[in-house]
C-alpha cells in the first residue's frame, strides 16, 4: 500500500483507501495520533485538554513523512508504519507490522497489521493496535489493579472499571516516553515480552497521545498539562479522616467526634456512610436517624471537623425520584432483560452521569438536601459503577454503549459534583470516589482503593496500586486503613496489620481510617436508614492499649507533617507531581531504584520503607545514589547507593530524610 501524505496546518494527514491517519502536536514534546475508517474523524477529546500552540517541523519526502515536536519525532513509512524516537535518534516505540506490503520495513507472510479495525454489527469497530516490545522495558502507571506488581511489563490488564479496580490508561516507560490510550471503550492491554497490544471492544477510531522527556518528572508534567491537574487540596483534607461502616445515628457519630476532642486527638473529617437515606436515589437524610442535620453539622464545625456524606448513584425503583428520572432519560438503560443495574437492598438503576441534564438533576437534589445544610465534601461511592453483573455489552449511556464509553463514567460522576460545587462558589473542591479514569483529577477526585481485604497481602497490593495511580496522573489517592472486608479489633493478628497499615498511611496523600469490622451489630429498623447493620468499632481506641499508643504516635506525626504536606500538594496542583511516588521518580539515574517496589518517596524529602509482612521486625532498605540519608528514628546518616538491614519493631516504620532537606521529623 502507498499512503498519501499532506498537511493541514500543524497536522500531518496520511490516507490510504478508507483509512485516515492524523498526527498532530498536542503540548510540549507530545503528539496525538488518531485514525479511523469512517467518513470523518470523531471530534471528541476525551481525557485531553485543548493544546497550546507548538512549533513543529513536518517533512514529506515521497513515500515517507516525519513530524518533530521538541524532543519527540515520528516517522511514517509509505506502508503506514509509525516509529517514534527521541532527539538522540533512539527508538522509543514502533508499530508491530508483519506483512509483504512494505519490504523496506518487515517482509513477512504473516499479514499482521499494526492498526486493525474489525467491523462489528452496528457500525463500530473492534480495534487492535500493536507495537514492538522491548523485553527490557519497564512500565508503570495504568491506574489501580489488585496485584503485587509495580512494574507492569509482561502483564495483561483489563481496561474496565470494577470495585477496587480503576483503569487509568497512561503508562510511563523507563525508555523515556509516556503513552495515553485516549479511548474510554472497554478493552484490554497486554504488555507482552514479544508484543504490546491495545484492544478496544467497540469504538469509532484509534486515539492515543504520546510524549517524550529526559526524566520521569518531565514526562509526568507533560501529561499533567495535557489532561489537567488536581485543585489545591484544602488544608483540612491533609489531616486525619475518621470513618467506619457505619455510624447508624446522628448521636453515635457526634459522640465519636466528641471523644476525639476529649482525648485531644486531631481529627479533620468524619464520615456518614451509606444508607443514611430513606431510599436509594433520594439523596437526603433519613430524619428518623438523623433528626437535625443542620445542628449536627454546626456542632462538628465548632469542633473544627468537616462532615463528609456518602452518595450512591443508585436509584431505587420505588424511590420518589425514579418516575421523573426514567421519564426524562436520566437513567442507564439495558439492552436486554429487566432494567436493573444493581440489586442491593432494592432493585436499583444507576443515574446516567454521561447525560448533562441527569448530572444537573442529581446535583440539585444533593445541593438542596446536603450542600445547603453545610456539607462541603462528598463521598461519591459506587463510581465504577458497580454492576451486580459486569455484562458491559448490556448497558447503554447517553454518550453511547458501555462497551464504547463505559470507562468515562467515574469522570462524569466526579464532574457532576465538581461543576455544581464550583458554580456555588466553592474553591479547592475535593470529593472521595471509588474509581477514576484519565482526567478525573481535574474534577477534584480523591480515589480510594475500594472494598479490599483486611490482610497483609492486601496491604502489599495497595502499596503498588497507589504508586501506579500517582504515575497514571491521579495524585490524590488513599486506602481504607486496615482494609475494608473483615478484621476483628480483638484479633492480635489483625491489630498488627492495622498498626503497620496505619504507619504506612501517614505517608499517603490522604490519611483515612475506614473498614467493615467484625462482629456486626444488628440493624436498627426495617426501612430507610435502619436497614443496614453496622461494623464493630473502628476508632483509634478500638484496638487495645498497645495499638492505641502507637496509632496516636503516628496520628500526631501526620499532624506535624501538615506544613510539608501542603508544599507537596502545591506541587501536585501546579505540575501534577504525585505526592507519593516510586524511587525512580526522584533518582532516575540510579538503575537499582527501578527494581525497588516496596519503598517510595513521600514528596522530595522523605523515603518511606513500610513493613509489609506479619511478624517481621527487620527489613532490607535501599538508599538511592545521589544523596546522603538521615535515619529519622536514630539520627544516623548513611551514604546512598547501598542496602542496609533495618530494625523495625512494631512501633517503628523505617524513614529517611535526604541530606539537603530542611524538614525536621520527630517520631
CATH number for position 632: 2.60.40.1180
Is the same domain home to 591 and 511? no
- For residue 261, the surrounding DSSP H or E stretch is helix 250-262
Report the alpha-carbon distance of residue 245 to residue 327 in Å, rounded.
34
Confidence of residue 105 (pLDDT cuts 50, 70, 90): low
Query: How does pLDDT run across 41-89, given as a tens digit for each residue?
Result: 999 999 999 998 899 999 999 889 999 999 999 999 999 999 999 999 9
Task: Tell me the mean pLDDT in the region 354-358.
Answer: 98
The model's confidence at residue 109, banded by pLDDT at 50, 70 and 90, is confident
How large is the average pLDDT for residues 23-49?
97
Same domain? 217 vs 251? no
Give dist(CA 186, CA 408) in Å, integer. Answer: 10
Q: Would residue 399 count as lying in a domain? A: no
Of 168, 202, 227, which residue sits at a domain end?
227
Other beta carbons within 10 angstroms of residue 625's beta carbon come to 15
pLDDT of residue 27: 97
Residue 660 has pLDDT above 90, yes or no: no
Which among 181, 200, 227 is the end of a domain? 227
240 in the same domain as 210 = no
Cα(572)–Cα(224) distance, rounded to whole angstroms?
Answer: 9
**With 90 as the cut, is the pLDDT of residue 207 above it?**
yes
269 plus 197 within the same structural domain: no
Instruction: Count CB atoms within 10 A of the CB of residue 110.
Output: 10
Q: What is the CATH number of the domain that holds 429?
A: 3.20.20.80
Do 405 and 185 contact (CB within 8 A), yes or no?
yes
Select from 564, 555, 579, 355 the least CA-distant residue to 446.
579
Q: Indicate whether 477 and 611 sit together in one domain.
A: no
Q: Which of 109-118, 475-484, 591-600, 617-626 is predicted least confidently?
A: 109-118
* Orientation angle between helical segments 409-423 and 356-369, nearest 10 degrees: 50
CA separation for the pair 573, 497 (Å, rounded): 32
How high does pLDDT run on average in the chain?
Answer: 97
Are 555 and 588 part of one and the same domain?
no
Q: Give catalytic residue positions.
A: 381, 384, 451
Angle among Cα 464, 467, 472 to the nearest 5 degrees reads 120
Listed in order, strand segments (DSSP E) in 62-192 are 64-69, 72-76, 82-86, 91-94, 115-119, 125-132, 139-144, 156-159, 166-173, 177-181, 187-191
- pLDDT over 70 at 398, yes or no: yes
pLDDT at 103 over 60: no
pLDDT tens digits, 277-299: 999 999 999 999 999 999 999 99
- Checking if the pLDDT of 104 tops 60, the result is no
Query: What average pLDDT does range 356-384 have in this prediction?
Result: 98
180, β-bridge pairs? 170, 209
Tell me: cis bond preceding 67? Omega within 30 of 0 counts.
Answer: no
Residue 338 domain flag: no
Reply yes or no on whether the pLDDT at 453 is more than 70.
yes
For residue 60, being part of any structural domain is answered with yes
HSE of 254, CA atoms in CB hemisphere, 13 A: 17
List the grid coordinates of 21.
Answer: 491517519
What confidence score (pLDDT) does residue 134 get? Answer: 97
Beta bridge pairs of residue 31 = 25, 210
Q: Does 194 score more than 60 pLDDT?
A: yes
- For residue 473, the model assigns a pLDDT of 98
pLDDT level of residue 101 (50, 70, 90 thresholds)? low
Residue 96 lies in a domain: yes
Q: Is residue 342 part of a domain?
A: no
Dist. CA 319–CA 471, nearest whole Å: 41
Cell triple for residue 241? 479522616
Q: What's the number of CA atoms in the CB half-sphere (13 Å) around residue 573?
A: 15
Is there a single domain that holds both residue 213 and residue 81? yes
Beta bridge partners of 116: 128
Residues 106 and 18 in one domain: yes
pLDDT digits (tens, 9 = 90+) for 520-555: 999 999 999 999 999 999 999 999 999 999 999 999
Query: Which pLDDT value is given to residue 2?
Result: 86
C-alpha cell, 626:
545521589
Say how far apart CA 634 and CA 611 lie, in whole Å: 17
Domain at 108, CATH number? 2.60.40.1760
The answer, yes or no, to whether residue 365 has pLDDT greater than 60, is yes
Q: Which residues of 329-338 are buried (b: 16+ CB within 10 A; e: fewer)?
A: ebbbbbeeee
∠ CA 214-220-221, rounded to 5°? 90
Q: Which of 489, 354, 359 is nearest to 417 (CA)?
A: 359
| 268 and 299 belong to one structural domain | yes
Query: Which of the four pLDDT bands, split at 50, 70 and 90, describes residue 484?
Result: very high
Give me the number of domains the chain comprises: 3
Q: 509 and 650 in one domain?
A: no
Please tell me the predicted confidence (pLDDT) of residue 100: 73
Residue 278 lies in a domain: yes
39 and 84 co-located in one domain: yes
Confidence of residue 108 (pLDDT cuts 50, 70, 90): confident
Measured over the CA atoms of residue 43, residue 47, residue 52 and residue 58, the dihedral's sign is negative
Nearest alpha carbon to residue 208 among 10, 99, 45: 45
Full residue range of the structural domain in which residue 24 is found: 4-227
Together in a domain, 144 and 280: no
Domain annotation covers residue 500: yes
What integer pLDDT is reported at residue 460 of this predicted model?
98
Residue 15: how many CA atoms within 13 Å on its side-chain side?
13
Q: Which of 227, 250, 271 is the last residue of a domain?
A: 227
For residue 130, pLDDT beyond 80: yes
Query: Which triple of cell numbers denotes residue 564?
Result: 510539608
Q: Please choose, from the candidates 398, 278, 414, 407, the residue with its C-alpha nearest in 3D space to the C-alpha of residue 346.
A: 278
Cell numbers representing residue 100 in the block? 509483504
- Confirm whether 107 is domain-assigned: yes
Cα–Cα distance, 427 to 251 (Å, whole number) = 30
CA dihedral 294, 298, 300, 306 (to 10 degrees): 80
d(CA 306, CA 296): 11
Amino acid at each position: 500500500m502507498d499512503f498519501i501524505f499532506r498537511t493541514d496546518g500543524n497536522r500531518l494527514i496520511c490516507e490510504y483507501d478508507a483509512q485516515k491517519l492524523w498526527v498532530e502536536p498536542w503540548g510540549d514534546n507530545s503528539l496525538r495520533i488518531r485514525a479511523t475508517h469512517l467518513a470523518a474523524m470523531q471530534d471528541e477529546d476525551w481525557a485531553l485538554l485543548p493544546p497550546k500552540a507548538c512549533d513543529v517541523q513536518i517533512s514529506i519526502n515521497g513515500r515517507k513523512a516525519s513530524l518533530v515536536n521538541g524532543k519527540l519525532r515520528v516517522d511514517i513509512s509509505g506502508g503506514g508504519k509509525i516509529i517514534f524516537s527521541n532527539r538522540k535518534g533512539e527508538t522509543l516505540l514502533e508499530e508491530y507490522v508483519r506483512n509483504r506490503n512494505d519490504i523496506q520495513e518487515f517482509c513477512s507472510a504473516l499479514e499482521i497489521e499494526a492498526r486493525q479495525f474489525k467491523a462489528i454489527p452496528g457500525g463500530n469497530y473492534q480495534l487492535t493496535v500493536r507495537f514492538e516490545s522491548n523485553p527490557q522495558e519497564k512500565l508503570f502507571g495504568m491506574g489501580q489493579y489488585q496485584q503485587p506488581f509495580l512494574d507492569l511489563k509482561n502483564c495483561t490488564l483489563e481496561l474496565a472499571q470494577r470495585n477496587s479496580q480503576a483503569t487509568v490508561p497512561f503508562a510511563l516507560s523507563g525508555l523515556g516516553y509516556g503513552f495515553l490510550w485516549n479511548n474510554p471503550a472497554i478493552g484490554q492491554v497486554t504488555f507482552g515480552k514479544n508484543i504490546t497490544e491495545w484492544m478496544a471492544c467497540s469504538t469509532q477510531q484509534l486515539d492515543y497521545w504520546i510524549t517524550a522527556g529526559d526524566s520521569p518528572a518531565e514526562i509526568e508534567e507533560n501529561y499533567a498539562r495535557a489532561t489537567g491537574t488536581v485543585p489545591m487540596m484544602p488544608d483540612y483534607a491533609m489531616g486525619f479522616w475518621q470513618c467506619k461502616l457505619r455510624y447508624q445515628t446522628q448521636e453515635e457519630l457526634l459522640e465519636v467526634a466528641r471523644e476525639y476532642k476529649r482525648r485531644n486527638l486531631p481529627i479533620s473529617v468524619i464520615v456518614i456512610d451509606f444508607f443514611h437515606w430513606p431510599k436509594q436515589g433520594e439523596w437526603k437524610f433519613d430524619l428518623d436517624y438523623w433528626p437535625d442535620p443542620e445542628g449536627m453539622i454546626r456542632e462538628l464545625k465548632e469542633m473544627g471537623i468537616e462532615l463528609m456524606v456518602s452518595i450512591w448513584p443508585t436509584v431505587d425503583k420505588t424511590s420518589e425520584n425514579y418516575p421523573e428520572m426514567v421519564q426524562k432519560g436520566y437513567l442507564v438503560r439495558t439492552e436486554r432483560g429487566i432494567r436493573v443495574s444493581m440489586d442491593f437492598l432494592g432493585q436499583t438503576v444507576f443515574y446516567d452521569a454521561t447525560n448533562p441534564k441527569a448530572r444537573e438533576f442529581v446535583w440539585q437534589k444533593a445541593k438542596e438536601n446536603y450542600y445547603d445544610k453545610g456539607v462541603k465534601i462528598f463521598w461519591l461511592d459506587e463510581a465504577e459503577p458497580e454492576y451486580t453483573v459486569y455484562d458491559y455489552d448490556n448497558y447503554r449511556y447517553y454518550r453511547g454503549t458501555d462497551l464504547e464509553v463505559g470507562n468515562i463514567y467515574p469522570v462524569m460522576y466526579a464532574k457532576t459534583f465538581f461543576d455544581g460545587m464550583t458554580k456555588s462558589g466553592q474553591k479547592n473542591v475535593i470529593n472521595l470516589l471509588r474509581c477514576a479514569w484519565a482526567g478525573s483529577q481535574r474534577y477534584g477526585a480523591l480515589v480510594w482503593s475500594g472494598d479490599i481485604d483486611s490482610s497483609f497481602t492486601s496491604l502489599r497490593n495497595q502499596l503498588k496500586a497507589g504508586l501506579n495511580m500517582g504515575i497514571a496522573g491521579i495524585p490524590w489517592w488513599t486506602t481504607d486503613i486496615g482494609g475494608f472486608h473483615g478484621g476483628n479489633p480483638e484479633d492480635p493478628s489483625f491489630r498488627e496489620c492495622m498498626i503497620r497499615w496505619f504507619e504506612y498511611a501517614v505517608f499517603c496523600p490522604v490519611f483515612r481510617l475506614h473498614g467493615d469490622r467484625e462482629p456486626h451489630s444488628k440493624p436498627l429498623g426495617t426501612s430507610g436508614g435502619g436497614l443496614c447493620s453496622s461494623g464493630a468499632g473502628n476508632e483509634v481506641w478500638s484496638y487495645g492499649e498497645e495499638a492505641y499508643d502507637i496509632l496516636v504516635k503516628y496520628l500526631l506525626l501526620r499532624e506535624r507533617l501538615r506544613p510539608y504536606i501542603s508544599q507537596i500538594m502545591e506541587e501536585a496542583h501546579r505540575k501534577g507531581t504525585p505526592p507519593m511516588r516510586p524511587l525512580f521518580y526522584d533518582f532516575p539515574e540510579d538503575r537499582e531504584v527501578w527494581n525497588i517496589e516496596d519503598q517510595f518517596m513521600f514528596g522530595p524529602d522523605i523515603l518511606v520503607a513500610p513493613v509489609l509482612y506479619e511478624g517481621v521486625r527487620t527489613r532490607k532498605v535501599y538508599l538511592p545514589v545521589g544523596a546522603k540519608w538521615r535515619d529519622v528514628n536514630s539520627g544516623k546518616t548513611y551514604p546512598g547507593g547501598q542496602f542496609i538491614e533495618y530494625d523495625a519493631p512494631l512501633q517503628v516504620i523505617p524513614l529517611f530524610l535526604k541530606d539537603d532537606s530542611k524538614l525536621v521529623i520527630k517520631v
